[in-house]
Amino acid sequence: MLRYIVVLLGLAFSMIIPFPLFADISSTNVICIDPGHPSESGHGTAGRHITEIDAAWDVSLLLKQDLIADGFTVVSTKSSAEEFVTNKQRAETANNAHAALMIRLHCDADAGTGIASYAPDRQGVVNGVHGPSQTVIDESQAALKVFHAALIKSLDGLLADRGMFADTSTRIGGKQGALTGSIYSKVPVVLVEMCVLTNPHDEAIIDSADGQRKIAAALTAGVKAAVACESKQ
Ligand SMILES: [Zn+2]
**Does a structural domain hold residue 200?**
yes
CA of 134 to the centre of ligand 1 (A): 25
Cβ atoms < 10 Å from Cβ of 93: 18
Query: What is the block-wise mean pLDDT of the chain (233 residues), using blocks of 10 residues?
Result: 52 46 58 98 97 98 98 98 98 97 97 97 98 98 98 98 98 97 98 98 98 98 94 73
Respond yes or no on whether the N-terminal peptide bond of residue 38 is cis (omega within 30° of 0).
yes
**Does a structural domain hold residue 80?**
yes
Specify the pLDDT at position 3.
Answer: 57
CATH number, position 141: 3.40.630.40
**Does a structural domain hold residue 18?**
no
* Domain assignment of residue 65, given as a range: 26-232
Q: Which helix (H) or strand (E) holds 182?
A: helix 180-183
Specify the pLDDT at position 211.
Answer: 98
**Does a structural domain hold residue 165?**
yes
CA of 18 to the centre of ligand 1 (A): 47
CA of 44 to the centre of ligand 1 (A): 5
Specify the pLDDT at position 17.
Answer: 44
CA of 56 to the centre of ligand 1 (A): 9
Look at the chain and report how many structural domains it folds into: 1
CA of 202 to the centre of ligand 1 (A): 15
**Does a structural domain hold residue 89?**
yes
Q: Which residues pair with 51 in a beta bridge?
A: 46
**Does a structural domain hold residue 117?**
yes
CA of 36 to the centre of ligand 1 (A): 6
**Does a structural domain hold residue 57?**
yes
**Does a structural domain hold residue 184?**
yes
CA of 87 to the centre of ligand 1 (A): 11
CB 129 within 8 A of CB 165: no
CA of 66 to the centre of ligand 1 (A): 23
Specify the pLDDT at position 33.
Answer: 98
